[in-house]
Chain A
Amino acid sequence: MMVELLLIVAFGGSLLTYVLGKLSSRLRNGFALLNALALVIMIGMLYGQEFERSLPFGFLGIQFSIRMNMLSWFFAATILGIGLLAVLYSFRYMKGKERLDYYYFTLLFINASMLGTVVAGDLLSFFIFWEMMSWSTYLLISLRGGGKAIFAGIKYIIMSLVGSLAMLVAIVSLYTAFGTVDIGELAVHMQSASLGLALLVVILFSITFVIINALWPFHTWLPDAHAEAVSPFSAILSAVLVRKGLYGLFLLMYVILGFSFLDRLAVGAISFSNVLAWIGAITIVFAAFRALLQNDSKRILAWSTVGQGGYMVLGVSVATSMGMAGGTFHILNHCIYIALLFFVAGAIEHRTGGIRDLDSLGGLIKKMPVAFVGGLVGIFGLIGLPLTNGFVSKWLIYKSLILEGRPFLAFAAFLGTWGTILYGYKFIHNIFLGQLPDELRDVKRVPFTMAVPIMVLVVLVFLFGVLPGIPLSVVNQVGTYMGFEPLDLNVWGIPSESGTLNVVNLLAAIAVAGFLVWLLFKTLGRSTRVDQSDNYAAGAAIPRGRYGFTREFYAPLYRIVSPYVKDFPDALFLWIADRTKALGGMTRKIYSGYVGSYVMYIVLFLAALVFVQLTWSPW
């Protein structure tokens, strides 16, 4: 009953939150938090269970069913964990804004429908939950109102609908072929399916999942959506919602189709996995350089989400235990540090009166230390420095790519990381370092309820970085469920043949060396604190307030790179949208509103019919 109860609590809780909000806002906030907490506890209790069950009702004669296994559990846990933190974070962030009942309702509803997609046991209920998720996401992206937010929402929903339609066609063709949409049964039937049907289904599903996972060339909805959404929702969007695409790919590639079938889907060197891997590689490099050109704190993070999706796909498409573990682990890691970074960007936005422009910030390390620590640790995780969680998953992905003899894919992955360093440092520098502008002298610290989620995630980044064995044992079970050999693990790292990863050595070395250098520094160094304006200007006096160097931080690089990294897919899609609109405008001219014109159309049509009949006499 547990999973049914989970869904009931999730959906019921969101509705009840809305109703309670009409009574009192405190009651609503408290209930929303309790609801999110209850869901986290319930999913914790479901750990390790594996079952599939039919529900007592269905639709169009198709029985609904739900399933719980490590794959579902893994995704459900990330959804509910981030959901809880986002709800807590929202209290102060959303305070004083309009339509809050609606906001909390939609937020919880999205979480509930995402949960639905991962526990759905048949493709029809999967599709229904998927649609609920798409529509409610659209509503929340456009929450702020105004031209830009509506545009971002429309952009998202159109691309999402294209994906949904592709998925619907795929589901219908599976149903007509096998008479069932149950995932477990399909997995059996697919082994005897014709190659043509399999190819059709794979391509259609891939379109859906690539769009929602925001991989190149279908990434274009994501940067706008993230920039326009409110920050707690950006965190959810980036950390878990986008990754539903990967859940879909897992389901498609390893649960429904399976290895042997995937191998058959190949023409020479062009196989499904290869195409997917190259899409991932292009996404990584493209997104890294696009992120470099951004000047909006949330847009940088949005592009990094696009890029990190590429790493996961790379790991998954290598299809070795190690690559798979790396890809799956990276989903979890990315979800932690990107939520952290969006929370930090949101905190800055909240305290500075909505500034996201990286040219107008600076020096906030002295004013918002918690946000700084969060931002720094998040960026370290994003880069994947040793002792952060991102390091372990990226290490696994790199190693599997190198050992599988795919140096070009590995190169793309490495290059993306080095791009990350550039935009990551820019994010830190332009917000927290450099000169504090006079306008920001009175900025306050991060409020407590916003600082708690930030600190929780900071701890998780280090915990999973130093003790990667804990999350990796879960990841291992996910891999085993999909039919991979489990990795050999211990708590500290991955002991294996030559290139062993042992994080405890790293930790000890860094701790000892850091301590020794610090001791040297403290015993020998004598320094006095000086003000930020007390600077050496090499004889060239610069007026106060002109002392920050943030504008166009990498100007020479922009000049070199910008002609090559235009967002062509975005331009193409916008062009198509524009043409469609123009076509609509032309069609509308037919309906002139005069009866005379309509009579003329009818007469002309009849005349054409008579002409056709007289000339060729087809009837």
Chain B
Amino acid sequence: MRIVWLFLSPLIALVAGVLLLGLSRKIMARIHWRYGPPLLQPVIDIIRLFSQRSASHGILFDLGIVVSLAGSLIITLFLPFGNIAPLSGSGGMLVILYMMLIGPLGIALSGGESGNPNASIGISRNLMLAIGYEVPLLMVLLAVMTRYGTISIVEIVRVQQASTWSIASWPLVVSGLAYLLVMPAMLGFRPFEVVQAPQEISSGPMVEYGGSYLALVSIQHALSLYITISLFVNLMLGGSGNIVIFLFKMLVVFVLFLFVNAVFPRFRIEQAVRYLWRWPTLIGLIGLVLVALVGR
């Protein structure tokens, strides 16, 4: 059974991620008073892209994408998904944190080799934005791990199942608030959509990708949406013992941030980092201090 889930859970994550992507276009269109593309548009796009020819800039240009997508697929094995977590025994949160780096780093290396300045600018912005939101995020994660006295994400979910959701419990509610504030930046949603910024730097790291490259990057993007939201649901909303409820929670969180995305303009990268290092960091720090004072 475990072997089946090893292959099934990345697939479910993939499908869920791609559907979220399709849904986001539909919802965004409706908020903008447009009709919008069909729900399965991303799938159609990916199939079409695979049939097209494309240009390659070198070995790392190819390998970076492959590694990035592979890394993202693997994290889904470490994140509890409903009551299933095929590999979550191997190192817990710390491994997840590090594995989450592989996706962006793969794209960064691949985009870097393209030699396009727009790609380099996009990557530099991506890394700056990452250190911007990682500061509050790490405080939140440490607060959660310290509060429950474990680095195992399965354990964290189990404790929440037995009592209440982290975000509804004192003192983790403060950390939860900080987490909510950094989520748009983690998802790459407006007002933090500085990395791709199509009007400024022609989609940043993605500028040189076409054909199968773009298809793989789109899949990776869909997976990274899934991973980010799934981590939030597991840590803050108590995960779930049931796959359907888990996916429902993810959907609610996603739609919530989509509304934020729909109505905001874009920050400049400096404004984004300054904001992230001001309010979410302050709240995250208060949350961490409270956890350290209250103890387990």
Segment with Cβ contacts to A, from B33-41, B118-126, B179-187, B240-248: B118-126
Say yes or no: is A408 at the interface (Cβ < 8 Å to chain B): yes
Contact between chains at B216 and A411 (CB < 8 Å): no
Instruction: State the CA gap A418–B54 with chains docked (Å).
Output: 34
Instruction: State the CA gap A28–B98 with chains docked (Å).
Output: 46
Contact between chains at A521 and B66 (CB < 8 Å): yes
Instruction: State the CA gap A535–B55 with chains docked (Å).
Output: 10
Contact between chains at B57 and A532 (CB < 8 Å): yes
User: Please, what's the 1-or-0 string for A524-551, where 1 marks a CB less than 8 Å from any CB in chain B?
Assistant: 1111111011111110001000011110
User: Please, what's the 1-or-0 string for A262-283, where 1 marks a CB less than 8 Å from any CB in chain B?
Assistant: 0000000000000000000000
Which residues from A are CB-within-8-Å of B115?
363, 433-436, 532-533, 535, 547-548
Say yes or no: is B94 at the interface (Cβ < 8 Å to chain A): yes
Segment with Cβ contacts to A, from B137-145, B162-170, B230-238, B258-266: B137-145
Instruction: State the CA gap A429–B115 with chains docked (Å).
Output: 10
Contact between chains at B112 and A524 (CB < 8 Å): no
Say yes or no: is B193 at the interface (Cβ < 8 Å to chain A): no
Instruction: State the CA gap A106–B294 with chains docked (Å).
Output: 56
Say yes or no: is A428 at the interface (Cβ < 8 Å to chain B): yes
Instruction: State the CA gap A376–B113 with chains docked (Å).
Output: 13
User: Please, what's the 1-or-0 string for B39-61, where 1 marks a CB less than 8 Å from any CB in chain A?
Assistant: 00000000000100111111010
Contact between chains at A527 and B212 (CB < 8 Å): yes
Instruction: State the CA gap A498–B109 with chains docked (Å).
Output: 34
Contact between chains at A557 and B95 (CB < 8 Å): no
Contact between chains at B95 and A549 (CB < 8 Å): no
Say yes or no: is A419 at the interface (Cβ < 8 Å to chain B): yes
Instruction: State the CA gap A503–B87 with chains docked (Å).
Output: 11
Instruction: State the CA gap A407–B277 with chains docked (Å).
Output: 19
User: Please, what's the 1-or-0 string for B85-97, where 1 marks a CB less than 8 Å from any CB in chain A?
Assistant: 0010111111101
Question: Which residue, of A376, A500, A529, A535, has the highest number of chain B Cβ atoms within 10 A?
Answer: A535
Instruction: State the CA gap A554–B116 with chains docked (Å).
Output: 17
Please tell me the number of chain A residues within 8 Å of chain B, measured between CB atoms: 75
Segment with Cβ contacts to A, from B15-23, B24-32, B148-156, B249-257: B148-156
Instruction: State the CA gap A533–B121 with chains docked (Å).
Output: 17
Which of B10, B50, B145 is within 8 Å of A513, CB to CB? B10
* Nearest opposing residue in chain A for B194, CB measure: A556
Contact between chains at B145 and A402 (CB < 8 Å): yes
A502-B91 contact given A527-B211, A557-B131, CB 8 Å threshold? yes
Say yes or no: is A614 at the interface (Cβ < 8 Å to chain B): no
Which residues from A are CB-within-8-Å of B295?
405
Contact between chains at B66 and A514 (CB < 8 Å): yes
Contact between chains at B56 and A513 (CB < 8 Å): no
* Nearest opposing residue in chain B for A401, CB measure: B142
Which residues from A are CB-within-8-Å of B67?
514
Which residues from A are CB-within-8-Å of B274?
560
Instruction: State the CA gap A527–B108 with chains docked (Å).
Output: 20
Contact between chains at B90 and A557 (CB < 8 Å): no
Say yes or no: is A366 at the interface (Cβ < 8 Å to chain B): yes
Instruction: State the CA gap A526–B91 with chains docked (Å).
Output: 38
Shortest beta-carbon distance, A470 to chain B, in Å? 19
Contact between chains at A526 and B143 (CB < 8 Å): no
Which residues from A are CB-within-8-Å of B108?
425, 429
Contact between chains at B92 and A521 (CB < 8 Å): no
Contact between chains at A506 and B95 (CB < 8 Å): yes
Contact between chains at B56 and A407 (CB < 8 Å): no
Contact between chains at B288 and A385 (CB < 8 Å): no
Say yes or no: is A403 at the interface (Cβ < 8 Å to chain B): yes
Say yes or no: is B114 at the interface (Cβ < 8 Å to chain A): yes
Instruction: State the CA gap A549–B125 with chains docked (Å).
Output: 12
Shortest beta-carbon distance, A80 to chain B, in Å? 32
Which residues from B are CB-within-8-Å of A419?
131
Tally of A-B residue pairs with Cβ under 8 A?
230
Say yes or no: is B173 at the interface (Cβ < 8 Å to chain A): no
Say yes or no: is B177 at the interface (Cβ < 8 Å to chain A): no
Instruction: State the CA gap A517–B219 with chains docked (Å).
Output: 11
Per DSSP, chain B at the interface is helix
User: Please, what's the 1-or-0 string for A422-436, where 1 marks a CB less than 8 Å from any CB in chain B?
Assistant: 100100110001111
Say yes or no: is A384 at the interface (Cβ < 8 Å to chain B): yes
Which residues from B are CB-within-8-Å of A524?
50, 212, 215
Which residues from A are CB-within-8-Å of B269?
556
Say yes or no: is A576 at the interface (Cβ < 8 Å to chain B): no
Contact between chains at A498 and B105 (CB < 8 Å): no
A421-B55 contact given A414-B138, A428-B112, A499-B91, CB 8 Å threshold? no
User: Please, what's the 1-or-0 string for B65-77, where 1 marks a CB less than 8 Å from any CB in chain A?
Assistant: 1110111011001
Say yes or no: is A15 at the interface (Cβ < 8 Å to chain B): no
Say yes or no: is B228 at the interface (Cβ < 8 Å to chain A): no
Which of B56, B71, B89, B288 is within 8 Å of A530, CB to CB? B56
Say yes or no: is A518 at the interface (Cβ < 8 Å to chain B): yes
Instruction: State the CA gap A366–B213 with chains docked (Å).
Output: 21
A529-B69 contact given A386-B98, A501-B95, CB 8 Å threshold? no
Instruction: State the CA gap A433–B123 with chains docked (Å).
Output: 12
Which residues from B are CB-within-8-Å of A144?
none
Which residues from B are CB-within-8-Å of A501?
90-91, 95
Please tell me the number of chain B residues within 8 Å of chain A, measured between CB atoms: 81
Instruction: State the CA gap A533–B116 with chains docked (Å).
Output: 8
Shortest beta-carbon distance, A158 to chain B, in Å? 35
Q: Would you list which residues of chain B between 250 and 296 have a CB under 8 Å from chain A? A: 268-270, 273-274, 277, 288, 291-292, 295
Question: Which residue, of B65, B66, B97, B152, has the highest number of chain A Cβ atoms within 10 A?
Answer: B66
Contact between chains at B216 and A407 (CB < 8 Å): no
Which of B50, B91, B131 is within 8 Å of A500, CB to CB? B91
* Nearest opposing residue in chain B for A559, CB measure: B270
Contact between chains at B292 and A408 (CB < 8 Å): yes
Contact between chains at B71 and A510 (CB < 8 Å): yes
Instruction: State the CA gap A435–B208 with chains docked (Å).
Output: 14
Segment with Cβ contacts to B, from A35-43, A194-202, A391-399: A391-399
Which of A365, A399, A518 is within 8 Å of B58, CB to CB? A365
Shortest beta-carbon distance, A57 to chain B, in Å? 52
A528-B112 contact given A365-B60, A386-B98, A556-B128, CB 8 Å threshold? no
* Nearest opposing residue in chain B for A412, CB measure: B138
Instruction: State the CA gap A411–B66 with chains docked (Å).
Output: 31
Instruction: State the CA gap A553–B216 with chains docked (Å).
Output: 27
Which residues from A are CB-within-8-Å of B116?
535-537, 547
Instruction: State the CA gap A383–B67 with chains docked (Å).
Output: 17
Which residues from B are CB-within-8-Å of A386?
95, 98-99, 102
* Nearest opposing residue in chain A for B141, CB measure: A414
Contact between chains at A505 and B90 (CB < 8 Å): yes
* Nearest opposing residue in chain A for B97, CB measure: A414
Which of A433, A498, A510 is within 8 Å of B150, CB to CB? A498
Which of A366, A425, A525, A535 is within 8 Å of B127, CB to CB? A425
Which residues from B are CB-within-8-Å of A516?
70, 73
Say yes or no: is A491 at the interface (Cβ < 8 Å to chain B): no
Say yes or no: is A410 at the interface (Cβ < 8 Å to chain B): yes
Shortest beta-carbon distance, B272 to chain A, in Å? 9
Contact between chains at A513 and B73 (CB < 8 Å): yes
Contact between chains at A498 and B155 (CB < 8 Å): yes
Which of B105, B109, B139 is within 8 Å of A411, CB to CB? B139
Which of B117, B123, B146, B211 is within 8 Å of A525, CB to CB? B211
Shortest beta-carbon distance, B151 to chain A, in Å? 4
Contact between chains at B90 and A560 (CB < 8 Å): no
Which of B71, B128, B146, B202 is within 8 Å of A405, CB to CB? B146
* Nearest opposing residue in chain B for A429, CB measure: B112
Say yes or no: is B101 at the interface (Cβ < 8 Å to chain A): yes
Shortest beta-carbon distance, A392 to chain B, in Å? 10
The 6 closest A-B pairs by CB, nearest first: A525-B212, A433-B112, A549-B120, A499-B92, A549-B117, A513-B70
List 8 other contacts, CB 8 Å, given A399-B151, A498-B150, A525-B213.
A386-B99, A418-B135, A421-B101, A501-B95, A535-B115, A535-B116, A547-B115, A554-B128
What would be 19 A-B contacts, judged by CB atoms less than 8 Å apart? A365-B58, A391-B98, A407-B143, A410-B142, A414-B138, A418-B135, A421-B130, A425-B112, A434-B115, A500-B89, A513-B71, A516-B70, A521-B65, A526-B53, A527-B56, A549-B124, A553-B120, A554-B127, A560-B277
